[in-house]
Structure formats: C-alpha cells, structure tokens
C-alpha cells in the first residue's frame, strides 16, 4: 500500500511494475522531473490511469489522455505497445452517472462506446471512445497536430487516416459517447 508518487524521487528507478500491488495515486500527478530514469511503467487499476482503470465520468478522460501523451513525448517506450493501443483496458464504469444500458437492443444498434483506444497514425497520436466488441468508434480526439502536407510521410499518413476513419460510422460527429437520449435517437434513425 502507498502512493505512486512516493517513488518519484528514486533517481535510478527504471522499471515501475506495480500491477500486483494495491498502490494508489493518479498518473496525472507525474511531472516532468519525476522518475528521471524511468523506462517502463505498469500500474494497477487502483491508480487513476492504471491498467483496467474505470472512469467515473466521461469528462475525466481528456486530462488523463493529455498526461499519457506528455509521458510518451518524454519517454516514447514507456508503455508496451499492445497495452497502449488498447488504452490499457480503460472504460467507463458501470457505476458512472454517464453509463446507460437499460433496454438497449444490441441487434438494432451498436453498443454504446464506453471503452477507450489510443490511435496512432504516422507520427500523430490521438484517442477515441469505442465499443467493446463490434469496432464502432467515436471521432478521434487528436493530441498532435496534423503533419505538414510537404512532409515526406504525409501521403502514408492520409492513407492510414482514411482506413481508420472508415470505422467511424454510427458515432460520426461524436467525440465522446452520446448521452442516453442522443443514443436512443441514433438508434431510431
């Protein structure tokens, strides 16, 4: 037991693997000068932003994604790629006031997009809300600017982006999960 930040001042700490612990804390508390030698990080769900963390509010996500982005700019290999793309198994908690699922017809509509994923297109990173199984996504919330049209990898970027944006269909126009009322209206269309 203890707080993640209790370990921030260890100058030689390279691997912080705390998955099997009950450490608490918030990944958003990590500042640029904390964990100066850190190379890899695995945190339990008891840490805000740890593996399989469940968000209490949709509005809590942008600040956490910004923190993850800053950490990756500082230490690009900080997280294992498989976990990074699946956004560490993050999702909206069923106890959240933003959650709804009563009376949803799964044969009529995709499930609400209450899971998260991190999107990497070329050098550009963003994140999106998505459904758990059927691959429907909300619009991408970009953390990086679009690459310059003059850059050498712009053509490859646009091709990858088109492929990813094809999966944004049912939730096109939504950057976060629709409210229950909006969702039910979408299902009636």
Q: What is the pLDDT of residues 89-112, one digit of tens each?
A: 999 999 999 999 888 877 788 999
State the Cα–Cα distance between residues 10 and 35, nearest whole angstrom.
7
Collapsing DSSP states into helix, strand and coil, what is residue 81? helix
Distances (CA, A) of 121 to 61, 92, 98, 118, 165: 20, 24, 29, 10, 11
CA angle at 139 for the pair 130 and 75, rounded to the nearest 5°: 80
> To 5 degrees, how large is the angle CA 123–CA 124–CA 126?
145
Tell me: the pLDDT tens digits for 61-96? 999 999 999 999 999 888 877 777 777 899 999 999
pLDDT at 114: 96
* Percent share of the chain, pLDDT over 90: 72
Instruction: Please report, rounded to a whole number, the percentage of residues in the chain having pLDDT higher than 70.
Output: 99
Contact 187, 178 (CB under 8 A): no
Is beta strand 15-17 parallel, antiparallel or unpaired with respect to 40-42? parallel
- pLDDT tens-digit map of 17-53: 998 999 999 999 999 899 999 999 999 999 999 999 9
Of all helices (H) and strands (E), which one includes residue 119? strand 115-121
CA 17, CA 48: separation in Å to the nearest integer? 15
Q: Please list, in sequence order, all residues whose beta carbon lies within 8 angstroms of the beta carbon of residue 179, skipping any fewer than 6 positions away.
A: none
Residue 144 has pLDDT above 90, yes or no: yes
């Amino acid at each position: 037991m203890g707080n993640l930040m209790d370990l921030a001042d260890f100058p030689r700490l390279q691997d912080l693997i705390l998955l099997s612990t009950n450490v608490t804390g918030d990944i958003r508390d990590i500042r640029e000068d904390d964990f100066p030698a850190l190379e890899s990080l695995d945190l339990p769900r008891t840490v805000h932003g740890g593996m399989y963390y469940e968000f209490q509010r949709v509005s809590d996500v942008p600040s956490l994604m910004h923190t993850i982005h800053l950490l990756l700019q500082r230490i690009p290999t900080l997280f294992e790629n498989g976990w990074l793309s699946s956004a560490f198994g993050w999702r909206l908690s069923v106890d959240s006031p933003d959650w709804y699922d009563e009376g949803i017809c799964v044969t009529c509509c995709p499930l609400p997009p209450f899971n998260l994923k991190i999107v990497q297109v070329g050098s550009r990173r963003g994140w999106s809300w998505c459904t758990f199984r059927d691959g429907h996504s909300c619009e991408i919330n970009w953390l990086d600017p679009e690459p310059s049209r003059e850059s050498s990898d712009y053509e490859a970027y646009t091709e990858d982006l088109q492929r990813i944006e094809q999966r944004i269909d049912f939730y096109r126009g939504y950057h976060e999960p629709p409210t229950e009322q909006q969702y039910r209206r979408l299902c009636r269309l």
